[in-house]
Copies of this chain bind each other. A is one copy, B any other.
Amino acid sequence: MDDFSSLEPLYRRWQRRVALSAEDKRAIADMAWSRRVFARDSYLVREGEPTSVCTYLIHGFAFRQKLVSDGARQIISIHIPGEFLDLQNSLLDVADHNVQCLTRCEVGVIHKSALLELLASRPNVRRAMWLDSLIDSSIFREWVVNVGRRDARQRISHLLCELASRLKSAGLEDGPIYDFPLTQEQIADCTGLTAVHTNRTLQSLRRDGLISLSASKLSILDWDGLSELGDFNERYLHHSA
């Protein structure tokens, strides 16, 4: 990767759980990265296609989604800089979901073969990546719970808390005001609601003084209130250990 600082967020996250040696970092940086930029809404991975590359998010936001038979979309996770976007797809042979840019995205692309070689030769990196994928998995589980057993106000509160907590943990934002990349339609697709009901629910959260959200700026005015309403407990994010 031409600009090594792009890997800093990655190292920072991994170091919290796995000790990376200088050689580990060198092996990562020495990989055949290529930097690319994608426009908002463009697809990075398409369901059903064979996988050949793996993408690391440097700047911008991306999300995973699946489409159902009537054309409705369910967003499955949101990704922030410093995260790999499709480890899952890369290590399996055929993509089982779509990955799309939420905003303009700068990414580092590596070939599957280079990735596999790195995983084979660097045990610490392998462990870090595996843990990453286990944490992804934990987030999916929480999303099942969120759309399955919470009402609209709780679902949206939970989503906002998760994003704020992850951004803060990654050192990208440290409140009280966040750059918030989701439109109301996208919030709806994350929470299994309609855009109309999402709009009404956001209004109700604003009316209660929990948040203020406009012009792509979110501020969480009452963290305790919002996280309690949304039944948010950050254990599932495994920020430490």
Contacts and interface: CB of A to CB of B under 8 A. Distances in A.
- This chain: copies in complex: 2
A148 B88 CA distance: 21
B150 A68 contact: yes
Interface residues of A, number: 44
A130 B131 contact: no
A140 B144 contact: yes
A130 to B, nearest CB: 6
A73 B149 contact: yes
A149 B72 contact: yes
A74 to B, nearest CB: 4
A141 B64 contact: yes
Contacts of A192: 147-149
B94 A231 contact: no
Contact of A138 (B73, B96, B238): B96
B191 A148 contact: yes
A147 B147 contact: yes
A27 interface: no
30 contacts: A66-B141, A66-B142, A72-B149, A73-B149, A74-B145, A74-B149, A76-B144, A76-B145, A88-B134, A88-B137, A91-B131, A92-B131, A92-B138, A94-B235, A96-B142, A96-B236, A96-B238, A97-B141, A97-B236, A130-B133, A133-B133, A133-B134, A133-B137, A136-B137, A140-B140, A147-B147, A147-B148, A148-B191, A148-B192, A149-B192
A-B pairs, top 9 by smallest CB distance, nearest first, are A148-B192, A140-B140, A69-B231, A147-B148, A93-B241, A74-B145, A74-B148, A74-B149, A137-B137
